[in-house]
Copies of this chain bind each other. A is one copy, B any other.
Amino acid sequence: MPETRSSASEKAGLPAGELVHVGEVHHAESSITLLDYDKDDLHVHHISSVRDLLPYKSSNTVSWVIIEGLADMALFRELGEVFDIHPLVLEDIVNTHQRPKMDEYEDYLYMVLKRLEVSDTEFAVEYEQLSLLLFDNMLFTFKEKRDDLFVTVMTRLRAEKGRLRTQSTDYLAYVVLDTIVDGYFALQDSLDAFTDDIEENLFERPGPELLNRIQQAKRELIFVRKSLSPLREMLAALERSDSTLLSEKTHIYLRDVYDHAIRVIESVDSYRDLITGMLEIYLSSVSNRLNEIMKVLTVFSTIFIPLTFITGIYGMNFQDMPELKWPWSYPILWLVFISIPAILLIYFRKRKWL
């Protein structure tokens, strides 16, 4: 189900900066995980109060704060005060109807985008909003749910020799973006399988069930597209940004993420074209079948209707029907019964109906 299905207007009428969580509540409480590392050490902390994060603000290590669950307003209010975050940014973080975008503020970059996941059996996409706040040596990531999205990143961080440990915060932000965008390729593969499956059935089994799946795919693609296409603009802005928070070296990596995003967006567009084309083929296919059916009906009807009429004639009970008494009438009629269909069949074959 597309994310816009939950009430987009929940927050309407409230003042800007009034924090209200808009979207599904996955967890009543938010969990805060802190990964603090440099080349030599890595510490993982489970933080209970925002105040505990304050010392890391001015440390020399890279601090990655993962906040899961967006329903705990007190936490976000405190976060805003402690790290001096603009109320509108906080509002955007907790409202899960955001359009992917990147906003530059004096001390930090704010990025928001969607994670997309498809269930294996059916082509139903699930959306999770992810926000990033990139400070000088601190990265906040905000997630709606607790899941294993960052497991591989953490594993790489834990590996002592991993290159990731030696890099700065902006590289970590790149890795997070890359992880999310890489997830879209799974969506692409799923789409691929789904459309292949539809196509196979297109000529074999056109019917309401297939139509339903085409409609489902069309709808999902419309909303997937809506979630992905702003990425083009957002990642281009990020790549072009001259913020001091992003090093020259990281820009090359961001360009790579941008390339990946473009590839996925273009694929989604291709699949849309494909699905739209399939619907037209479907309609043509159904029309073909109707023609086939009508041909059978017409052939049968046009052959037997005249014959039945003839039998009707000689079934009449008039007293004066000389033919009834002729000895050859009946055999001759059989000749007629055979020759009329023969002539019609030749005619139909000539018209390519058979």
Contact = CB atoms under 8 A, between A and B. Distances in A.
Interface of A: 4-5, 7-9, 11-17, 86, 88, 92, 97-99, 101, 103, 152, 156, 162-164, 174-175, 178-179, 182-183, 185-186, 188-189, 192, 196, 199, 202-203, 205-208, 211-212, 214-215, 218-219, 222-223, 225-226, 230, 252-253, 255-256, 259, 262-263, 266-267, 270, 273-274, 276-298, 300-302, 304-321, 323-325, 327, 329-330, 333, 337, 351-353
Contact of A270 (B203, B223, B313): B223
A133 to B, nearest CB: 16
A113 to B, nearest CB: 14
A152 B13 contact: yes
B208 A11 contact: no
18 contacts: A8-B189, A9-B185, A15-B175, A86-B252, A98-B263, A99-B259, A199-B219, A203-B212, A215-B277, A222-B277, A226-B270, A276-B277, A282-B284, A287-B290, A293-B298, A300-B301, A305-B305, A317-B317
A173 to B, nearest CB: 13
B15 A156 contact: yes
A8 B188 contact: yes
Contact of A311 (B14, B305, B315): B315
Given A192-B4, A325-B319, A296 B298 contact: yes
A298 to B, nearest CB: 4
Contacts of A274: 218-219, 222
A181 to B, nearest CB: 9
Nearest to A282: B284
Nearest to A316: B314
Contact of A318 (B203, B288, B314): B314
A271 B305 CA distance: 48
Most buried by B among A215, A274, A307: A215
Nearest to A287: B286
Contacts of A305: 300-301, 304-305, 308
A292 to B, nearest CB: 8
B288 A286 contact: yes
A317 B315 contact: yes
B256 A16 contact: yes
Given A226-B270, A306-B300, A324-B318, A283 B283 contact: yes
A12 B266 CA distance: 18
A253 B293 CA distance: 60
Nearest to A226: B270
A8 B290 contact: no
Contacts of A262: 99
A114 to B, nearest CB: 13
B301 A291 contact: no
Nearest to A271: B222
A320 B330 contact: yes
Given A311-B309, A312-B308, A324-B319, A185 B288 contact: no
